Amino acid sequence: MSDTASYGFDTLQIHAGARPDPATGARQVPIYQTTAYVFRDADHAAALFNLQEVGYIYSRLTNPTVAALQERIATLEGGVGAVCCSSGHAAQIMALFPLMAPGRNVVASTRLYGGTVQQFSNTIRKFGWSAKFVDTENLDAVRAAIDADTRAIFCESIANPGGYISDLPALARIADEAGVPLIVDNTSASPYLCRPIEHGATLVVHSTTKYLTGNGTVTGGAIVDSGKFDWSNGKFPSLSEPEPAYHGLKFHETFGGLAYTFYGIAIGLRDLGMTMNPQGAHYTLLGIETLSLRMEKHVANAMKVAQWLEKDPRVEFVTYAGLPSSPYAERAKRICPKGAGALFTFAVKGGYEACVKLVNALEIFSHVANLGDTRSLIIHSASTTHRQLTPEQQAAAGAAPNVVRVSIGIEDADDLIADLDQALAKATS
């Protein structure tokens, strides 16, 4: 599409990145199930490998189906480019890869998905990187955590599992003051509910497995580049200094606002190999076509279910930011004006054992380690996704033993309420 700024979200979620196939005229993006691509001649091959021409070399790097998805996600997020990869966790490593080096650190929110806390606490240390976890509600603590080796601030727009809304503009200002990018995981919101780049984020990451695909069929991840950061400020040599693998090419000097995106493909995918498969990209493209319709229903259902739970005497509290009683209600209106998402937690009277009985008694809700499906999902985070964390880390992440996380789907809301009602009766009897 030529001038994407003139089109609305509903149009872009269908058409961005999609063009009739030049060979066949096929209207839907084909699945290019191929490993390699024939070069026109030796000069064409050399130009591609020298990054002097954009095209297809090998599907670990680039693939037309994946490229269409990258363009669509970047367009919906308001970025200049995107890199798709094999999972949301892969996207997080890919996002940090151009920024970090041994001894460098990232300042990360304590309110993150448990798997991310694990990845940042332990796995990234094998690269010589580290994470400093702070409650991003405490802006002074965020500033204090930043030191000369900090290379990014990382948070979630709508935090998993609690559904808390991060103060993105405030965090972006702190990141700007420190000369580092703000990386926002926008998985729980999707670009329909929140566009972090508009609030000052430099990079946006997604588990495309969740709301973007929306049907629980494939895993995937994406990193979106705002194109607005100065990578030549002296802190990011991978992007500003000569790259030996490309005869001394300087990515920022050569590609400008697209430097980060080109690096992610030419170095990140080439060397880490966290490639998204074309069939997975196809499923995600199909899912995104109905993103706005699904998110509207997700939000409406979540509000109705949360309001019912808040009034139930068997429930201690509900964390849904869309509720007027939530401390994040006003912020949600600014950061997520179309709704506070469909992910939140609630505490069950009776603690850990009651939570276990609840998830075992539900009939419509599926007990799975996923979110963002059309189906309503539930999980007891303390015994599953956050099991490896300390009790203090669980509490900080909003995953205490008496709490369950729900991802509200697009079924009939009254049916969901009836299912919760009968399960709560069994759990707290």
Alpha helices, H only, 211-343? 237-240, 251-255, 259-263, 270-272, 278-288, 291-311, 329-335
Q: For residues 416 and 429, what is the distance between their CA atoms, to the nearest angstrom?
A: 20
Residues of the chain with pLDDT under 50: none
- Give the model confidence (pLDDT) of 35-48 as tens digits: 999 999 999 999 99
pLDDT at 63: 97
The H or E element spanning position 142 is helix 139-145
Residue 24 Rama label (left phi>0; alpha psi -120 to 50; beta) = alpha
The CATH 3.40.640.10 domain(s) of the chain lie at 8-287
pLDDT at 386: 72
pLDDT at 375: 97
Q: What angle do CA 18, 19, 22 make, to 5 degrees?
A: 140
pLDDT at 1: 58
Distances (CA, A) of 176 to 100, 210, 230, 246: 17, 30, 10, 30
Torsion angles phi and psi, residue 351, rounded to 5: 70, -150
Please give the CATH number for the structural domain made up of 291-428: 3.90.1150.10
Query: CB 352: neighbour CB atoms within 10 A?
Result: 15
pLDDT at 376: 98
Q: Burial level of 308, CB count in 10 A (0-12/13-18/19+)?
A: middle
The CATH 3.90.1150.10 domain(s) of the chain lie at 291-428
Sign of the dihedral through C-alpha 350, 356, 362, 366: positive
- Give the model confidence (pLDDT) of 372-418 as tens digits: 999 999 999 888 877 777 888 877 777 888 999 999 999 999 999 99
pLDDT at 391: 82
CATH topology of domain 8-287: Aspartate Aminotransferase; domain 2 (3.40.640)
